[in-house]
Amino acid sequence: MFDPILQNPLAFAASVFILSLCIGSFLNVVAYRIPIMLKRDVEADYLALTEQKPKEHTPFNLMVPNSACPSCGSAIKAWQNIPVISYLLLKGKCANCSTKISMRYPIVEFVTGLLGLMVAVQFGPTMQTAGLLVFTYFLVALTLIDFDEYLLPDNITIPLIWIGLLFNVFNTYTTLENAVFGAVAGYLSLWSIYWLFKLLTGKEGMGFGDFKLLAAIGAFLGWQTLPVVILMSSAVGAVVGITLIIALGRDKNIPIPFGPYLAAAGWISAMWGEQLIDLYLRMSGIR
């Protein structure tokens, strides 16, 4: 049934783009609901430990309740939930109360679609594309949540580690040995930096979620890519941080989420890893 799509590069790329647009719409839901779900879980655990009566909540997960306007509460109909197109048709407003809809929703949908398209064009109908699409969707969700909550949830980062290892059972991106060492080295490298920084300054320089995200990147791409990922993410993070302080007057004591820069560096390495490693080795004088 899928042979005509898989055998036609244009049809395959278009299909992945449409799929990724739809996934992008779902990722908006993931980024909003998972932090709330985690907060409810923490609250429930605290009440249980203190032997207090748990609060009663209506069911709330990634599937229920149905999406609704946060202003008037009207349910969002299927035709109002078409990625990007519905936003344009509605002129960026709720169909019921005309409250403005955030531009973030169509931007996330379009960017996810574009990233998926780039993966499809680069690798074609292969196992590499399948894995990197999953990798991309997870990274988009983590980026959104970290920007909003300064949080990289375990229920996203840890499955991503296992998914990377499973794909490399078949040597999809690297050998399984390199993937295992990549996961270990990814975690321990930032863990070591965290504790060194804390011993020297008494402050926490990053969260534990960053360790797990870099471990997931290592599990997908192998330990060889980690120096490039760390270098790229640190450089971009430093430039952005300094720019925010100088240009916008941001308080230097306000933390900046590091996860989005790790995610971006990991995705770029997945797409053009060999070229980046070769460039890194040449610039460092090793090659």
> Of the spans 8-12, 65-69, 84-88, 132-136, which averages the highest pLDDT?
132-136
* Nearest residue to 19 via CA among 128, 151, 117: 117
Q: Are residues 45 and 81 in the same domain?
A: yes
Instruction: Tell me the per-residue pLDDT of 182-238, one tens digit each, with 9 for 90 and over.
Output: 999 999 999 999 899 888 888 877 889 999 999 999 999 999 999 989 998 988 887
Q: Are residues 150 and 231 in the same domain?
A: yes
Q: Are residues 138 and 252 in the same domain?
A: yes
Cis peptide before 35 (omega within 30 of 0): no
Q: Are residues 142 and 276 in the same domain?
A: yes
Ranges 124-128, 136-140, 230-234: which has the least confidence: 230-234
For residue 274, give its domain range: 126-287
pTM over 0.75: yes
Domain boundary among 75, 95, 123: 123
Number of domains in the chain: 2
Other CB atoms within a 10 A radius of the CB of residue 53 amount to 7
Quote the CA–CA distance of 152 and 27 in Å, as a whole number: 14
Q: Which pLDDT value is given to residue 247?
A: 67
Q: Per-residue pLDDT for 105 more than 70?
A: yes
Q: Are residues 165 and 177 in the same domain?
A: yes
Domain boundary among 123, 138, 173: 123
Domain boundary among 92, 123, 154: 123
